[in-house]
Amino acid sequence: MTAHGPGVPDPGLPGWERSPAEIRALGHRVVDLIADHLCGLPDGPVFRPFPPAEAAALAAGPVPTAGAAAHDVLDDVERLVLSYPFGNGHPRFHAWVNSPPHVLGVLAEALAAAMNPSVAGGNHAAVHVEHQVVRWFAELAGFPAGSGGLLVSGASAATVTALAVARHHAAARTGLDVRADGLQGHDRRFVLYLGEEAHGCVRKSAELLGIGAANLRVVGSDGAGRLRPGALRDAVRRDLADGHLPVAVVASAGTTNTGAVDPLDELADVCAEHGVWLHVDGAYGGPAVVLLDGHPAERAGLARADSVGMDPHKWLYAPVDAGLLLLRDPAAARDAFSLVPPYLRTDGDPGGVTGPVWFSEYGFEQTRGFRALKLWVLLKHLGVDGYRQLVARDLAVAAHLADAVRAAPDLDLLAHGLSVVCFRCRPDGVPADRLDELNRAVVTAVQLGGGSFLAGTTVGGVVALRACIVNPGTTTADVDALVAAVRAAGTAGAAIVVAP
């Protein structure tokens, strides 16, 4: 017999059990902090570096031996953590692909954590919610009935998972069992095809899967950064003639750098001709391609892929992390990952304890968080129509930015795909060979200026400024302010660069 009942603190376990009143008090404080954070962001600088003295104090701070009151800990969170955000969520933050979270997604995270299930599998709500979310996305992507997938941490995890399945699949067709033998004991070279602007996670995956970076075939692109189908066909034929084993083609539905969408339908033709796995990386641009009408041929091509990765934590405004992997043939993933031997496999136990086939049979992770809840809540709340409006608005603001860049005599537009705009300063009097240096200085000046924030990159071998609009709170006035900040920094930089 214990002296304390549910919810009644046991004095012997400090800080463990909590009464409903305490939970409410802490929760209300946290909700206040969330409201202040989300609504107060626009009033502060877009970015300010974490103070070096605080960083040093954190680096040297001892392990807490005695505990502190929860409210005191939340004081620390308020002072030290919430005061120095990354920058995303501010309407004038345009760097990388970091969107603000929809507040319902934030609160759903807390609810998911309160339940704290493992979604490895089982017959509990979280499992069925994830199945529904995956099916909804599969339908939106145009995948056929019977397709499936799972939620992962992001597109890096989606890519390595998809390519592990593709590797197993390609090897099995030649009589190799990579699960048993790894890549040992045969002399065929596994090769992987990707575009010049494919995300770094493809190379990481190739290295991790034993394919090796030397066996990546970087296929050339056209002037708009789109992978060329003819070049892909030539590369695949050459490798087949040489006795190599094509594992997969990784195409992009929106490259991170310039927003280029590969000609997915033509690439799907090439893959079909040669029986090569097509993985579409739609981490950033997938929602725009799938939900809107701007890229009908690419949308049709995406629907033909063997696997698609998409990051709801980017352009669907879900809190990090939320990555999605769609699989045309989920059985292929089960073959690559399941440790349940085929003769013991069941197709689940819908009414019993074990529930549907476990997610852990389709990927690497065992204990899996309840990522699906935030996506389920957001899809139900916004609907596909709501998402269409939000994504379309980001595209329209990006188009406005591209127009403003075109109209500015001292700016050059270098690329504009989806909601990415890459450009650079070219003020009068600055020699061409100093423009990279100048634009690097402009990026830093704008970032530290606190008024706007964008990233530096390279496009076609030159230093560029890159803005990516994935925040429905960003207005045309905000991107006009960016253009003004960049031009001012360009003029100031030019004075230094051309100074004698």
Ligand X SMILES: *Cc1c(COP(=O)(O)O)cnc(C)c1O
Interacting residues toward ligand X by CB under 6 A: 97, 154-156, 199, 201, 252, 255-256, 281, 283-284, 311, 323
Nearer to ligand X (CB atom), residue 158 or residue 357: 158
Nearest approach, Cβ of 38 to ligand X (angstroms)?
22
Q: Would you say 153 or 475 has its CB closer to ligand X?
A: 153
- Which lies closer to ligand X via its Cβ, residue 148 or residue 309? 309
In whole angstroms, give the CA distance from residue 437 to residue 460: 16
Smallest distance, ligand X to C-beta of residue 391, A: 15
Pairing relationship of beta strands 411-417 and 190-195 according to DSSP bridges:
unpaired
Q: Which is nearer to ligand X, 178 or 308 (CB)?
A: 308
Q: How far is the CB of 166 from ligand X (least distance, A)?
A: 16
Q: Which residue is nearest to ligand X (CB)?
A: 154
Minimum CB distance to ligand X, residue 97 (Å): 5
Q: Which is nearer to ligand X, 256 or 360 (CB)?
A: 256
* Rounded least distance, CB 80 to ligand X, Å: 26
User: Is residue 34 a contact partner of residue 106, using CB atoms and an 8 Å limit?
Assistant: yes
Q: How many CB atoms lie within 10 A of CB 110?
A: 14
Nearer to ligand X by Cβ, of 156 and 419: the residue is 156
Taking the least distance from each CB to ligand X, the nearer of 182 and 200 is 200
Smallest separation (angstroms) from ligand X to the CB of 404: 24
Give min distance, CB of 409 to ligand X, in A.
32
Other beta carbons within 10 Å of 218: 16
Q: Which is nearer to ligand X, 256 or 447 (CB)?
A: 256
CB of 172 to ligand X, least distance (A): 26
